[in-house]
Structure 1
Amino acid sequence: MTHVHGRIWRDGKTADDFEFSAISEYLATEGTLLWCDIYDPDHATLKSLAEEIGLNEWAVEDAIADAERTKAVVYKTHTFFTVYDVWVKDPAPEDNSESTLEIHRISGFVLPRGLITVRISPHVDMEKVSRRYDDLGGQEHGVGSLVHALLDVVVDGHFAAVQSLDDGIESLEDDLFAERPLRGRLQRRTFQLRKDLVALRRVVLPMREVVTALQHRRLDARNAVELDAVYADLYDHVLRASEWTESLRDMVTTVFETNLSLQDARLNIVMKKLTGWAAIIAVPTAITGFYGQNVDYPGIDTVGGFVTSTSIIVVLVIVLYWTFKARDWL
């Protein structure tokens, strides 16, 4: 079932008479700004709207497709873009290996006097976009400011997601060098963080091209200088998120490789200690085995023979233990 929410501004002032059937009239009226948000659209409704206001048919198909990459495509009468909003959710306390990210797609059609957003997921806070737009007084700057408010909220979500993954990697580093690290859980968390980072990287890195295309292809020319400044700031935030994501990729790879190196080092230490103790145990085994021969030898069946063999065992074991300990073999 298609859900539609819309807002209208006339001469910079909010109007309350939005009607979905009158979208083409709003877009044709001078001094009017339209924002129409369509959630869970059926193909027939969106296709009818596209024919009414002249949207590209391939862009319409991309807006409701199951999977699309982050992108912006410029057409003659409008610009189509697809971005992803990222939410950070709290992991279950008993399972730290669960993903902490939720990724939701938002598609948009930017027209000279309006923005039409299409989304499949209900878990996108479009009211936050509306509040951000109102707080900035965006009615004075046209549709370019409305698009900026949407992208600004999306990029803020990217920053929150990158910060969450950064905290997760720092937690991994603490567990990695713990006295008794839980190897199984550590490996599961590392693998999940790598998966989340790959998914986040796919939606963050292409945002640079999206912001550039929307900034340079604004169909409204009002307050161009002010919008250039805010878009430049937005582009800087996108670059920072992209660079941060790339650095986390190196960090999680380092954690993974360090974990393998520590496991090899601990295995070598264990083998070294086992070998040292085996050498120490071999001494009394050899002595008792020698005196266990079925031949007569000095001290057989005497207390002196028992004391002598026992003393030899104790002295040699102490010497070997001290030698191995001094060389850090135990």
Structure 2
Amino acid sequence: MLVERDFPVEQVSDYLEDPATTVWLDFCEPTEADLAAIGEELGLHALAVEDAAEEHQRPKFDRYDTHSFLIAYSAQFDAKTGIVTKSELAAFITKQAFVTVRKDNRFDMDAVVRRWDAQADLAKSGVPLLLHGLLDHIVDGHFESVQSLDEEIEALEDLVFADRPDQRELQRRSFRLRKSLTALRRVVLPMREVVNTVMRRDQNLVDDVMTPYFHDVYDHVLRASEWTESLRDLVATVRETQLNLQGNRLNTIMKKVTSWAAIIAVPTAVTGFYGQNVPYPGFQATSGFWVSTVAIVLLSVGLYATFKRRDWL
């Protein structure tokens, strides 16, 4: 049951005097003074407070004497632009307090709150429920992003095998998807270690009631990680296939050009022979014209049939 909201940081320690109370504080783009205040109020480790203030940290889960510290990233893939948007979040986890620190306003905390409200029957679990709702939202976002990226790669495959593919567009989309996949891997793969560490019994963070829910989150983490790895191989395969098809098309074009050049060379050679200014059989005679014409037609048709049979034309 919600007792109070929008209270000053200085009152946190007062609320924590009641063992049945769970406190959640959310900071969006806080100042160093804000973090220092909550660090002093909850006795947070200086290194954890420093990591929460800095940006571009690696996803991780650290354990200190009095609390735990989490860094994770939400991710969203935009199919129209092909760009992965990330948002960094840090969290301090104590026995009764849960503090989230958003580095920007792109993180959808309202969605996390809706997950908590949907699990009101588990409110007795306190902080583990809050931690589960946060991780579940982040991991589901990863899974949806991987799924969207997979659909874009499938569309790229269809474009590769088009009759007349736009090579420049193929290269642009292929490079963009590889870049997005790399960005997504950097936030998805470390979550496997993060969630696994949270679930360890020596951490004493997950009670028996919440254990099945964390196992479900971990299952989603594994699926997203494995899917991401398979997409990495798939993107590389698409690129190799594109280059192979491009090489095959070039070889086909070269065969056709060479074949037509050979056919054109026949009448050139024959007419060149009959254009000599020296006497030869049929020189200045009608029979010479017909012999040269028949020779041109027969040789050209013969070459055309030969090249066609070999699929060079």
Aligned amino acid, residue 187 of structure 1: Q
Partner of 2:93: 110
Partner of 1:208: 192
1:77-113 Cα shifts (integer Å, max 9, x gaps): 110010000123341xxxxxx3332111111000100
Would the alpha carbon gap of residues 212 and 105 (structure 1) be closer, same or farther in structure 2, given more than 3 Å must change? same
Alignment of 1:234-273 (within 5 A): 234-273=217-256
Secondary structure at the counterpart of residue 276 of structure 2: coil
Partner of 1:37: 26
Moved more, 210-219 or 234-243: 210-219
Aligned equivalents of 2:42 and 2:281: distance in 1? 113
Partner of 1:7: none
How far apart are 1:296 and its partner, in Å? 2.2
Aligned equivalents of 1:17 and 1:268: distance in 2? 71
How far apart are 1:218 and its partner, in Å? 5.2
TM-score (normalizing by structure 1): 0.90
- Residues 1:65 and 2:49 aligned together: no
- Return the match for 1:28 from 17, 21, 24: 17
Partner of 2:149: 165
- Return the match for 2:174 from 170, 181, 190: 190
Partner of 1:3: none
How far apart are 1:53 and its partner, in Å? 1.3
Query: Is the Cα contact below 8 Å between 2:59 and 2:190 reproduced in 1?
Result: yes
- Residues 1:148 and 2:132 aligned together: yes
Partner of 1:8: none
Query: Is the Cα contact below 8 Å between 2:255 and 2:312 reproduced in 1?
Result: yes
Moved over 6 A (4+): none
Aligned equivalents of 1:27 and 1:189: distance in 2? 53
How far apart are 1:152 and its partner, in Å? 0.3
Aligned equivalents of 2:5 and 2:237: distance in 1? 57
Q: Figure out how many residues of one structure are paired with residues of the other and give that number.
A: 310
Aligned equivalents of 1:285 and 1:28: distance in 2? 103
Residue identity over aligned pairs, in percent, reads 49
How far apart are 1:299 and its partner, in Å? 2.7
- Return the match for 1:299 from 268, 282, 289: 282
How far apart are 1:17 and its partner, in Å? 4.3
How far apart are 1:225 and its partner, in Å? 1.6
Secondary structure at the counterpart of residue 15 of structure 1: coil
Would the alpha carbon gap of residues 116 and 219 (structure 1) be closer, same or farther in structure 2, given more than 3 Å must change? farther
1:124-177 Cα shifts (integer Å, max 9, x gaps): 111111110111123121100110000000011001100111001100100000
For structure 1, the 5+ residue unaligned runs are: 1-12, 92-97
Aligned equivalents of 2:278 and 2:199: distance in 1? 100
Aligned equivalents of 2:306 and 2:115: distance in 1? 72
